[in-house]
Amino acid sequence: MEPTTPAAGTVAGPARRRRNPVTPGTGPQRWDGVDVHDYKTAGSAPFRGVTRQVLFERDELACQVRYFEVEPGGHSTLERHEHVHAVVVLNGHGSCLVGRDVVEIGPQDLVEVPPMTWHQFRAAADAPLGFLCVVNTDRDRPQLPTAADLAELRTDPMVAAFVRTSD
């Protein structure tokens, strides 16, 4: 048999990946053909109840589009890095720290994390927090706060009350 090659203009993969119906309490929102991963390697950094899905990633695109979902009461890692985050909330509710600002966030709110800015996302106690996060494909590794960084951050009572640094 001849090897089959797609005709000109034919889409190799599926053009559309459907959002799957969501059943509350059964884990994060899913899409057709998208795998759910651990947020980070357990023990590598403090976080609680976070999953990661890569929605778009290909050579021709200079960024990756990821979806993170934080369980009710959970939180991402408090960290900073040179690369920026462009965040669009999709589902649920929660709050985030960006620099010294602690703000509430809900569906379709936008959050921008500038370079070298401490940030952390928390889901509400009674709802998950699901958000898109666009990042450069080529990016630096996150930095965790030192004891001195934490002491400095905690001089602000609002920040001190917000941050979570261990499981």
Q: Which residues contact 89 (CB under 8 A, 6 or more apart)?
A: 105, 106, 107, 108, 109, 110, 111, 129, 130, 131, 132
70 is an interface residue for a second copy by CB under 8 A: no
How far is the C-alpha of 121 from the C-alpha of 109, rounded, in Å? Answer: 13
Q: Considering only residues 8-47, where is the footprint of a second copy by CB under 8 A?
A: 9-13, 15-19, 29, 31, 34
Q: Are 73 and 125 in contact (CB under 8 A)?
A: yes
154 is an interface residue for a second copy by CB under 8 A: no
Max Cα-Cα span within the chain: 71
Torsion 107-68-73-77 (CA) sign: negative
Q: Indicate if 96 belongs to the active site.
A: no
Binding residue for a second copy (CB under 8 A) from 48, 56, 127, 150? 56
**CB nearer to a second copy: pick between 42 and 148:** 148
- Per-residue interface string for the shown chain with a second copy, residues 83-122, x marking contact by CB under 8 A: xx-x-x-x-----x-xxxx-x-xxxxxxxxxxx-xx----
- Six-digit token string for 54: 């890569």
Q: Which entry of 133, 153, 159, 163 is annotated as an active-site residue?
A: 133
Q: Which residues bind a second copy (CB under 8 A)?
A: 7, 9-13, 15-19, 29, 31, 34, 55-56, 58, 60-63, 65, 82-84, 86, 88, 90, 96, 98-101, 103, 105-115, 117-118, 132, 134, 136-138, 153
